[in-house]
Amino acid sequence: MKSVTDKRSFKTTFHRDDVIIESPGRINIIGEHLDYNGGQVLPAAINLKVRLSFKKNGTSRCNCYSKSYKDYFEIDLNKVEISEKEWHNYFLGVVHFIEQAYPNKIQGFDCTVESELPIGSGVSSSAALECGIAKGLDILFSIGLSDDEIITIAREAEHHFVGTKCGIMDQFAVVRGKKGKFIRLDCTDLSFEYIPANIEPYSIVLLNTNVSHNLATSEYNLRRQECDSGFKAIQEKYPKYHVLARVPEEVVREFKSKLASKTLNRLLYVVQENARTISASKALENGNLKMFGQQLFESHEGLKNLYQVSCDELDFLVDFAYEYEGVIGARMMGGGFGGCTINLVHKDRIDSFIEESSSAFYSKFNTSLSPFTVAIGDGVKQVN
């Protein structure tokens, strides 16, 4: 069979019996930069998704088209190696790691990706993409991957092919998300439980700054190193601590004179954020929404001052939200240096909040926000 070689062919070869996958983005209510520090996080899958359609093409080639980028590539499955173009590497990485675990299962396929998720804005279009690829190939070739395997393969692809040393939270939420539920996930041992996302009368509004400072990947990887090296110093004295997030704050403070002040601040942020995440989920379960929201404002202070991953645009929006009647919590969300803020907004105030924050943002930065309200949706799944 002839392989598909241009984007027009994808339209004409799209059949009802293709495997069609919807893979959601995710939010994280609180617990930022904690997954790789063994902390607790509170993510959820959202109702905005990446959509992928897969079909076998009877060759040994993989042909992929992104409608978002209007870009196409094809590779020989016998020569899978890292590409110069970032988005190709999500495919190549997933193919590589499935092939490593289950040799000779993947054969030639065509895949088209389209997305309603903003890209590079902190709602994890990357995890949506890589988990969607893994799920689609799993079904197309009847491989039988478990959810845990999909999560791991997707993360390995991002680490080794894309080069972002991400934690596990994004892939976990994308795969295990459930409509109407937040996921309380302990990143030490990946134990988790669903908690009802009962935040009525508030809704989740994301304000996308559309800013993406190119520090994001390098600073992300640097924060990991800073936390690792600081934690190593603590472990030398206290080998009983196995993960940074669980070290008591007073123990971290003992290292004030031994660690560079920047490193100490990174560690303080981690242990304080972990405590905030635990308080936030307790407050939510007790129906104390004011207290729940307050943890988000405090989280932002920590991300800005101690972890130093915020930027002027995000700070401006969180300050705006803090002063706005009807908003009970807000913070930057995701890796930082741009992307979105997450806001808990009273449902009667959503329109005015969006309008006034957009206008204030435009006056200050001369650039537009993209606001959107999200609901909590299901994880990655086949939809046909």
Question: Least distance in Å: CB of 350 to ligand ADP?
Answer: 23
**Smallest separation (angstroms) from ligand ADP to the CB of 216:** 7
**Among the residue ranges 10-18, 37-45, 113-121, 313-321, the one whose residues contact ligand ADP (CB under 6 A):** 113-121
Stretch 23-62: interaction string toward ligand ADP, x if CB under 6 A: ---------------------------x------------
Q: Which is nearer to ligand ADP, 115 or 310 (CB)?
A: 115
The minimum distance between CB 377 and Mg ion, in angstroms, equals 18
To 5 degrees, how large is the angle CA 199–CA 202–CA 207? 115
Backbone angles phi, psi at 32, to 5 degrees: -90, 140
Q: List, in sequence order, every residue forming a beta bridge with 28; answer none if it has no partner.
A: 43
Binding of ligand ADP at residue 121 (CB under 6 A)? yes
Q: Which residues pair with 24 in a beta bridge?
A: 49
Measured distance CA(268)–CA(261) in Å, rounded: 10
Q: Does 336 bind ligand ADP (CB under 6 A)?
A: no
What phi-psi label fits residue 67: left (phi over 0), alpha (psi between -120 and 50 degrees) or beta? alpha
Query: What does DSSP say about strands 19-28 and 43-56: parallel, antiparallel, or unpaired?
Result: antiparallel
> If binding is defined by CB under 5 A, does position 126 make contact with Mg ion?
yes
Distance separating alpha carbons of residues 231 and 263, to the nearest angstrom: 9
Q: Which of residues 24, 122, 293, 371 is near ligand ADP by CB under 6 A?
A: 122
Structure tokens at 297: 């404002």
- Beta-carbon contacts of 238 under 8 Å, excluding residues fewer than 6 positions away, are 247, 251
The owner of tokens 């196409």 is 72
Tell me how far, at minimum, the Cβ of 290 lies from ligand ADP, in Å: 29
Radius of gyration of the chain (CA): 21
3-state secondary structure of 197: coil
Question: Are the C-beta atoms of 284 and 292 separated by less than 8 Å?
Answer: yes
Q: How far is the CB of 371 from ligand ADP (least distance, A)?
A: 17
Among 57, 63, 124, 272, binds ligand ADP (CB under 6 A): 124
Contact call for residue 129 and ligand ADP (CB under 6 A): yes
- Interface with ligand ADP (CB under 6 A), residue from 66, 277, 299, 343: 66
- CA-to-CA distance for 4 and 18, rounded, in angstroms? 14
Binding track, positions 131-170, relative to ligand ADP; x by CB under 6 A: ---------------------------------x------
Q: Which stretch binds ligand ADP (CB under 6 A): 66-74, 138-146, 221-229, 243-251?
A: 66-74
Nearer to ligand ADP, 131 or 267 (CB): 131
Residue 322's CB is within 10 A of a number of other CB atoms, namely: 12
Nearest approach in angstroms of CB 88 to ligand ADP is 8
Q: Which does residue 129 bind out of Mg ion, ligand ADP, none, counting CB within 5 to 8 angstroms by kind? A: ligand ADP
Exactly one of 56, 60, 120, 278 binds ligand ADP (CB under 6 A); which one? 120
Contact indicator for 54, 19 with CB cutoff of 8 Å: yes
Residue 91 binds to ligand ADP (criterion: CB under 6 A): no
Q: Kindly report the number of other CB atoms within 10 A of residue 105's CB atom.
A: 16
Task: Compare residues 120 and 326 and give the one whose CB is closer to ligand ADP.
Answer: 120
Peptide bond into 201 cis (omega under 30): yes
**Which residue in 86, 285, 312, 356 binds ligand ADP (CB under 6 A)?**
86
Question: Between helices 261-285 and 289-305, what is the axis angle to 10°?
Answer: 170
* 83 touches ligand ADP by CB under 6 A: no
**Whose Cβ is closer to ligand ADP: residue 86's or residue 348's?**
86
Catalytic residues: 170
Nearest in space to 85 (alpha carbons), one of 96, 75, 77: 75
Q: Tell me which of ligand ADP, Mg ion, none is bound by residue 53, counting a contact when its beta carbon lies within the kind-specific cut-off of 5 to 8 angstroms.
A: none
Per DSSP, the residues of 60-96 read: SEEEEEETTTTEEEEEEGGG----SSHHHHHHHHHHH
- Residue 63 vs 124, nearer CB to Mg ion: 124
Q: Which residues bind ligand ADP (CB under 6 A)?
A: 50, 66, 68-69, 86-87, 90, 113, 115, 119-126, 129, 164, 334
